[in-house]
């Protein structure tokens, strides 16, 4: 998917693909709260509540216009079923 122009996936920007953030992830609620706050503020991303690493928001990635293929947690282009993700 590197640099490939694709349509956005058919899901809200607030909801990451299950292959990138599973529903049973122990920090899911905190991650989604931080992501939602970054989206609302128009920020490029947020600090992951568990690791402290900077994570790009779906809004930033959507504005970029292409998928980089690096497995971003909030990639707005991923739409394959979770079982087909690498």
Residue 81 has pLDDT above 70, yes or no: no
74 closest CA partner among 50, 24, 41, 38 = 38
Domain ranges of the chain: 10-77
Structure tokens that stand for 14 in this block: 């607030």
7 closest CA partner among 54, 62, 60, 50 = 62
Q: How many residues does the chain have?
A: 86
DSSP character for 54?
Answer: E
- The pLDDT tens digits for 29-71 are 999 999 999 999 999 999 999 899 999 999 999 999 999 999 9
Read off the pLDDT band of 86 (50, 70, 90). very low
pTM for the full predicted model:
0.85
């Amino acid at each position: 998917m590197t640099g490939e122009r694709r349509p956005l996936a058919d899901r809200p920007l607030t909801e990451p693909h299950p292959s990138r953030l599973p529903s049973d992830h122990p920090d899911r609620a905190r991650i989604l709260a931080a992501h939602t706050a970054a989206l609302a503020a128009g920020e490029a991303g947020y600090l992951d509540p568990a690791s402290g690493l900077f994570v790009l928001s779906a809004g930033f990635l959507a504005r970029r216009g292409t998928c980089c293929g690096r497995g971003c947690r909030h990639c707005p282009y991923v739409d394959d079923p979770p079982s087909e993700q690498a």
